[in-house]
């Protein structure tokens, strides 16, 4: 039998623990953003607390699909994001590598990491651009 290299094993476990802790922090930040946004809109603390609690109870963490290596199929991703809000996109795909706004009021989230692919056997898309107008997704471009 081969002996396990303990320092490498220990480092691997630490990396996994920090990754999980980072996802928990991201989830709490999203929940607090939901609460703040709700208070601006409704000014009803009870309703906003309920909404925040519901968002914290969700079992799906951001980027879960991406981290496991299961990339979205383009059409599935387009259907998932169609007319969704920026907050939903951030929760589903995480922070984009780049954000930009043009003069016409459109906002662009540019993801350079592999998120989707054309089919199960094809290679991942190099870049995905999510286009928003008035806070809702209007188009998803794949390059």
Could you tell me the residue ranges of all domains in the chain? 1-59, 71-143
Q: Is the pLDDT of residue 124 over 60?
A: yes
Give the DSSP H or E segment for 81.
helix 74-81
Nearest to 92 by CA among 41, 50, 140: 140
What confidence category does residue 121 fall into, taking pLDDT thresholds of 50, 70 and 90? confident
Q: What is the mean pLDDT of residues 56-85?
A: 71
pLDDT per residue as tens digits for the range 15-33: 565 555 555 566 666 667 7
71-143 — its CATH code? 3.30.1450.10
Closest Cα to residue 74, out of 124, 115, 116? 116
The whole-model pTM stands at 0.53
pLDDT band at 39 (very low <50, low <70, confident <90, very high): confident
Asked if residue 116 has pLDDT above 50, the reply is: yes
């Amino acid at each position: 039998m081969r002996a396990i290299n303990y320092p490498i094993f220990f480092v691997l476990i630490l990396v996994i623990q920090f990754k999980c802790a980072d996802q928990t922090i991201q989830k709490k930040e999203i929940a607090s953003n939901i609460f703040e946004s709700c208070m601006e809109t409704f000014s009803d603390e009870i309703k906003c607390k309920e909404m925040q609690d519901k968002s914290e109870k969700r079992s799906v963490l951001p980027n879960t699909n991406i981290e496991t290596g299961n990339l979205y199929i383009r059409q599935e991703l387009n259907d998932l994001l169609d007319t969704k809000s920026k907050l939903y996109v951030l929760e589903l795909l995480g922070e984009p590598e780049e954000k930009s706004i043009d003069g016409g009021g459109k906002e662009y989230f540019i993801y350079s990491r592999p998120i989707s692919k054309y089919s199960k056997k094809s290679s991942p898309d190099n870049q995905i651009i999510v286009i928003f107008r008035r806070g809702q997704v209007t188009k998803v471009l794949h390059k």
